[in-house]
Amino acid sequence: MKDIFKGKVVLVTGGTGSFGKKFISRLVDKHEPKKVIVFSRDEMKQYEMRKKFNHPCIRYLIGDVRDVERLHRAFHNVDIVVHAAAIKIVPTAEYNPFEAIKTNVIGAENVINMAIDNNIDRVLALSTDKAANPINLYGATKLCSEKMFLAANNYSPEGTIFSVVRYGNVVGSRGSVIPFFNECKAKGVVPITHEGMTRFWITLDQGVDFVVNSTNDMNGGEIFIPKLPSMKVTDLANAICPECKQEIVGIRPGEKLHETMVPADDGIYTYEYEERYVTYPDVICHERKIIPGGKKLELDFDGYRSDNNDQWLSVDELKKMAENA
């Protein structure tokens, strides 16, 4: 397979985050990029990252996706942008809606405009299952962002191509449930929102693989969705702290009982492949290119959700994943 990153200048917005660090270490170890640019705001996170990742091809740029001028400068001579910067914690976005919109929606618009103005070859944006039938502001901002990246292909029919990767909860990422359950061990009590709650589950390595492959395969306009296993939140609690009492505390504002990765209504635009779904844009002005090897979903498709999944993680598998996170 052609390696799209080889010899290229790659910029990662949010390059100091959980995804960014893993992705950049993969690029440098396996893909021989010409240069990798980390683009994020906090100098301390960059300082800490530089201590671990001091490869000569990595550049560290302080910048905010809300700042158009800075993006314009950073995108000069870049070939590929992977857009990972986001406000991503559900309660943070609920409580600070204007800030979430500025980063996740206006920031996405800035990335799109600067990519087109700088003739970037391809832009891949990271999204989340919370963007599918969203019920919280985080999901709603990521849905807006998805729509904007897909529509951006119409603004540059012969130039930059834009696609999206949408996946579920990342095992052990910053602010996720594993570090939280680990903290609960000392108290002997794990708060569980609802005993029936389910989630999709992906490791950082799987997420990075999927982004690498999707960036290779994209023609512009796709939402790439991996087929992932589901887990029961009570099984995760049993895997991390079996000795703890599970206390039911109720579903939090903005939380769903189950997550949706492909809504039933998007079935008509979606093809199923062996290891992924690909949703093609409903509104597009140029030729839609369907990646070969897929089967169009039937009209009676009921949605791809964490509760109707045919792959489930056992307590033992969850235990191993949590230990390696």
* Binding positions for ligand NAP, rule: CB under 6 A: 13-20, 40-42, 45, 64-66, 84-86, 88, 103, 107, 126, 128, 167, 169-170, 173-174, 176
Three-state DSSP state, 312:
strand
Closest CB 247 distance from ligand NAP, rounded Å: 24
Contacts of 117 (CB under 8 A, 6+ apart): 72, 75
Closer CB to ligand NAP, 66 or 296, in the complex = 66
Cite the DSSP H helix spans in 90-230.
Answer: 90-95, 97-101, 107-117, 137-155, 177-184, 204-217
**Angle between the N-to-C axes of helices 204-217 and 18-26, in degrees from 0 to 180, rounded to the nearest 10:** 60
Three-state DSSP state, 67:
coil
Distance CA 14, CA 39 (A): 6
Distance CA 51, CA 297 (A): 47
Distance CA 235, CA 199 (A): 11
Closer CB to ligand NAP, 109 or 159, in the complex = 109
Q: Which of 84, 124, 313, 310 is CA-nearest to residue 223?
A: 124
Closest CB 275 distance from ligand NAP, rounded Å: 18
Distance CA 250, CA 236 (A): 17
Closest CB 40 distance from ligand NAP, rounded Å: 4
- 122, 160 contact by CB (below 8 A): yes
Candidate list 8, 22, 45, 130, residue with the active-site label: 130
Closest CB 319 distance from ligand NAP, rounded Å: 19
Closest CB 71 distance from ligand NAP, rounded Å: 9
* Nearest position to ligand NAP, beta carbon: 17
- 305, 261 contact by CB (below 8 A): yes
Closer CB to ligand NAP, 88 or 232, in the complex = 88
Closer CB to ligand NAP, 154 or 176, in the complex = 176
Distance CA 187, CA 30 (A): 42
Distance CA 173, CA 200 (A): 14
Q: Which of 140, 107, 99, 98 is CA-nearest to residue 125?
A: 107
For residue 37, what are the β-bridge partners? 11, 59
22 included as an active-site residue: no
- 84, 13 contact by CB (below 8 A): yes
Supply 13's token pair: 């917005």
Closer CB to ligand NAP, 159 or 263, in the complex = 263
Closest CB 74 distance from ligand NAP, rounded Å: 10
Closer CB to ligand NAP, 113 or 284, in the complex = 113
Please give the positions annotated as active site. Answer: 130
